[in-house]
Amino acid sequence: MDVFVLIGSFILLLVFRIPIALCLIVSALVTGLYMGFEPQAILQRMVGGLNSFSLLAIPFFILAGEIMNEGGISRRLINLANVIIGKIRGGIAMVNVLASTFFGGISGSSLADTSSLGSVLIPMMKKQGYDSDYSVSVTISSSTQGVMIPPSHNMIIYSTAAGGVSVGALFMGGLGPGILLGIGIMILTYMMAVKRNYPKGEPVKKADIPKIVLDGLLGLLTIVIIMGGILSGIFTATESAAIGTLYAFLITFFVYREIPITRMGVILQRTFKTLAMVLFLIGASSAFGWLLAILQVPAMVSETLLSISPNAAVTVLLILIILLLLGMVMDMAPLILIATPILLPVAQTAGMDPVHFGVVLILALGIGLVTPPVGSVLFVGSAIGRIPIEKASKGMLPFYAVMIVVLLMVAYIPSLSLYLPGLFDQ
CB atoms within 10 A of CB 371: 20
Q: Once rounded to an integer, what is the mean pLDDT over residues 230-247?
A: 80
- Asked if pLDDT for residue 426 goes beyond 60, the answer is no
Query: pTM, whole model, 2 decimals?
Result: 0.82
Rounded alpha-carbon distances, angstroms, from residue 257 to 102, 106, 249, 284: 21, 18, 10, 40
The whole-angstrom separation of Cα 113 and Cα 115 is: 6
Exposure on the CB side of residue 91, measured as CA atoms within 13 A: 18
Please report the pLDDT score of residue 274 as a whole number. 81
- Asked if pLDDT for residue 306 goes beyond 60, the answer is yes
CA quadruple 273, 149, 397, 322: dihedral positive or negative?
A: negative
Most confident of 157-171, 306-320, 407-421: 407-421
The whole-angstrom separation of Cα 247 and Cα 244 is: 5
Based on its alpha-carbon atoms, the radius of gyration of the chain, rounded to whole angstroms, reads 21
Please report the pLDDT score of residue 411 as a whole number. 94
Rounded alpha-carbon distances, angstroms, from residue 123 to 51, 126, 393: 44, 5, 19
Please report the pLDDT score of residue 424 as a whole number. 67
Please report the pLDDT score of residue 221 as a whole number. 81
Please report the pLDDT score of residue 155 as a whole number. 87
| Residue 18 DSSP symbol | -
Residues 6+ apart with CB under 8 A from 361: 158, 323, 336, 339, 340, 343
Please report the pLDDT score of residue 332 as a whole number. 80
Please report the pLDDT score of residue 106 as a whole number. 66
The whole-angstrom separation of Cα 60 and Cα 79 is: 26
Q: Give the start-to-end residue ranges of the domains of the chain.
A: 2-425
Cis peptide before 354 (omega within 30 of 0): no
Span 330-377, pLDDT tens digits:
778 778 888 888 889 889 888 899 999 999 999 999 898 888 876 778
Helical pair 209-232 and 237-250, crossing angle rounded to 10 deg: 160
Please report the pLDDT score of residue 107 as a whole number. 63
CB atoms within 10 A of CB 419: 13
The whole-angstrom separation of Cα 361 and Cα 340 is: 8
Exposure on the CB side of residue 249, measured as CA atoms within 13 A: 17
Span 73-129, pLDDT tens digits:
777 877 888 787 777 887 888 888 888 887 776 666 777 778 777 877 888 888 888
Longest alpha-carbon distance in the chain: 73
Exposure on the CB side of residue 268, measured as CA atoms within 13 A: 6
Assign 258 to helix, strand or coil. Answer: coil
The whole-angstrom separation of Cα 230 and Cα 224 is: 10
Assign 87 to helix, strand or coil. Answer: coil
Cα–Cα–Cα angle for 159, 161, 167, nearest 5°? 5
Please report the pLDDT score of residue 217 as a whole number. 84
The whole-angstrom separation of Cα 353 and Cα 219 is: 33
Alpha carbon 39 to chain centroid, angstroms? 33
Give the number of residues written for the chain. Answer: 426
The whole-angstrom separation of Cα 203 and Cα 185 is: 23
Of residues 192 and 88, more confidence is placed in 192
Q: Once rounded to an integer, what is the mean pLDDT over residues 198-217?
A: 81
The whole-angstrom separation of Cα 122 and Cα 133 is: 10
Residues 6+ apart with CB under 8 A from 381: 114, 118, 122, 136, 137, 139, 140, 143, 370, 392
pLDDT above 90 covers a percentage of the chain that reads 12
CB 332 within 8 A of CB 365: yes
> Which of 181, 247, 187 has the alpha carbon at shortest distance from 217?
247
Please report the pLDDT score of residue 105 as a whole number. 63
Rounded alpha-carbon distances, angstroms, from residue 55 to 32, 40, 172, 279: 26, 23, 18, 9
